[in-house]
Amino acid sequence: MPKQVDHRERRETIARALWRVVEHQGWARATMREVAAEADVSLGQVQHYFASRTAMLEFAMEFASEQTAQRIIRSLDRLGSPPHPRDALRVTLMEMLPLHADARATSRMSAAYTLEALHDPELHERARLGLQNGRALTERLIRQAITEGHIPPDRDPVIETNLLLALTGFTPLLDLDVIDPDAASAAIDYYLDRLFDGPVPLVTGGEST
């Protein structure tokens, strides 16, 4: 009998190839031909699954988001059930930063997707809705933590959500070697300590005073 083709697997293989091309060469050089060579498939196969670079990018970004979510779920499972809200937020933030191979690949895909979305109205709307939904989820988590007494009641959930998500802005600083992973981790812990436990000592030169 002829071998049954797993079309989802083929699309994921192409998506991972796009991740690698974007990571090592950038989105500008991620042609369908280059991705086909990286995936070790024909250009025709890539074109069979994706009608355009944009369609390929969109699927690769959706797949990257799925992989990030799965990494977060696995990390949360190791924390016990249910994990403390502080630990859950820390795991989520750390997995969104380019601190290991998979996270670096998905982070750079996200950057390429955002840049493309700035000039493509359809992608712009999808990207905006995705970020909007992610922000709404984060705000719900913070409001719940306030209600349950984990976060002081005087905290503004809207402002704290915005500050929390701003920490994902460490990505370019890490990618361009402006700061190292330890510095990013320390800043995240500092913010979470302040959020959950109230005021913390000022930090000077990377050390508590």
Q: Above 90 in pLDDT, residue 187?
A: yes
> Which pLDDT does position 3 carry in this prediction?
55
> Which pLDDT does position 200 carry in this prediction?
46
Q: Are 11 and 43 in contact (CB under 8 A)?
A: no
Average pLDDT in the 57-86 region?
Answer: 89
Instruction: Give the CA-trace dihedral at 95, 101, 106, 112, to 10 degrees.
Output: 130
Q: Above 80 in pLDDT, residue 26?
A: yes
Q: Are 18 and 56 in contact (CB under 8 A)?
A: yes
How does the average pLDDT of the chain come out, rounded? Answer: 88
Q: Of the candidates 52, 56, 51, which has an alpha carbon nearest to the alpha carbon of residue 39?
A: 56
Q: Which two tokens stand for residue 109?
A: 């895909």
Q: Which two tokens stand for residue 87?
A: 């630990």
Q: Are 60 and 109 in contact (CB under 8 A)?
A: yes
Domains parsed from the chain with CATH numbers: 65-208 (1.10.357.10)
Residue 33, C-beta contacts closer than 8 angstroms, at least 6 positions apart: 43
Q: Tell me the one-letter amino acid at 15.
A: A
Distance CA 78, CA 26 (A): 34
pTM of the model: 0.80
Q: Above 80 in pLDDT, residue 209?
A: no
User: What proportion of the chain, given as a percentage, has pLDDT over 70?
Assistant: 92
> What one-character DSSP code corresponds to residue 6?
-
Query: Which uninterrupted H or E stretch holds 103?
Result: helix 101-117
Q: Which two tokens stand for residue 99?
A: 């601190």
Q: Above 50 in pLDDT, residue 46?
A: yes
The pLDDT confidence band at residue 198, using thresholds 50, 70 and 90, is low
The residue with tokens 């690769």 is 60
User: What proportion of the chain, given as a percentage, has pLDDT over 90?
Assistant: 62
What are residue 203's DSSP bridge partners?
208
pLDDT in tens, 111-168: 889 988 999 998 899 999 989 998 999 999 999 999 999 999 999 999 999 999 999 9
> What one-character DSSP code corresponds to residue 83?
P
